Structure 1
Amino acid sequence: MARFDEILATFWAPDESYGSQPALTDEAVREAERVLGVTLPSGLLELLRVRNGGVVAAGHRVFRTSRPTSWDEDRVPFETVLGIGKPGLMRSLLDSPYLAEEWGLPSPVVILSGEGHWWIALDYRECGPAGEPSVTWFETDFDTELALAGDFRTFVEGLTPS
């Protein structure tokens, strides 16, 4: 398993701009944390400073699971990551409160990736808004969830090729 700092250089799909937001600024991070009411994990912010959301490289697009999901027998997809952007331009981490309410997700969560029937999110229910969130898979059609990793860095280190 590769370490987080080794993955950082190869995490984003080269020559892919789909889903990318403008370059991340300290001001945008402060505003996002204010709007979301949580402290975002440092590992996520490190990735978003390289590229502010978008398509994940083929070598990091799935996460192995301990049980089957509606998506697969032993894995879930992680092909894109939401960046931090202005509302209305394209979906962003700032849409998490709306999406969580719309799709019946618990609160507080910050959605990293998904498409409605499933989401992968930072889960702040146990750690509180200033803590280190776990990463959880939510299936809205079946009202189920599956803990994927205890923190964001561990989640990224567990990603494998699709």
Structure 2
Amino acid sequence: MIEAGKGFWAAALEQYQEKYSGGTLTPEKVREVEAELGYRLPAGYIAISEIQNGGFPVNICYPTDQQNNWADDHVAIVGIFGIGRENQWTLCGELGSQFWVDEWDYPEIGVYFADCPTAGHQMVALDYRECGPQGEPKVVYVDQEDDYSIIELAPDFMTFITGLLPEEHFEADDG
């Protein structure tokens, strides 16, 4: 598990951080959001949300060996949606998981939990297709610009979270 969340969440301008915040996390809120989404959230997602319920991670890049519209060797995220419905970019908020399915025609594979720097043209999701709604989902990158192609990033949420790297890691490789 992430060591008490130390160093995971970045400080951000409060006005932007708030849009991702699910507020105070309670077991009741987790149950309500899971019921609305129709999926059990991974324990790791709940654990990082207990530290801070949504926001911007310090490390935002995840390595991949598959070329995509963002880069040849990685994908990037902006923020992680908080567990709640209080604000725009929370799991059940105005621009939460279901928004991407209803308004942008993203495939119904699970829960969209992280946006990318491409203003909605790529998203990161918990993919429940193999494990079912109560199982441990994979983490995938869905590319709207490439006919909603899906790239598997990690076998589970915690592998994804602990595998995030700083942007500088990839910038150094370019030069």
TM-score by length of 1: 0.89
Distance 1:69 1:160 in 2: 17
Distance 2:27 2:4 in 1: 23
Q: Give the alignment partner of residue 132 of structure 1, picking from 129, 136, 143.
A: 136
Structure number with the higher strand fraction is 1
Distance 2:8 2:42 in 1: 17
CA RMSD of superposed structures (Å) = 1.6
Q: Is the CA contact (8 Å cut-off) linking 1:111 and 1:122 kept in structure 2? A: yes
Instruction: Quote the residue 1:75 is aligned against.
Output: 74
* Percentage identity across paired residues of the two chains: 37
Corresponding position: 1:5 with 2:2: yes
* Letter matched to residue 30 of structure 2: V
Give the number of the structure with larger relative contact order, counting CA–CA contacts within 8 Å between residues 6 or more apart: 1
CA change 1:7–1:119 in 2 (3 A) is farther
C-alpha displacement of 1:20: 2.2
* Letter matched to residue 136 of structure 1: V
Distance 1:79 1:135 in 2: 16
* Letter matched to residue 67 of structure 1: Q
Distance 1:117 1:23 in 2: 30
Runs of 4+ in 1 over 6 A off after TM superposition: none
Give ranges in structure 1 of 5+ residues lacking alignment: none
Instruction: Quote the residue 2:120 is aligned against.
Output: 116
Distance 1:79 1:11 in 2: 13
Counting matched residue pairs gives 156
Instruction: Quote the residue 1:92 is aligned against.
Output: 90
Distance 1:72 1:120 in 2: 15
Distance 2:128 2:153 in 1: 14
Give ranges in structure 2 of 5+ residues lacking alignment: 168-175
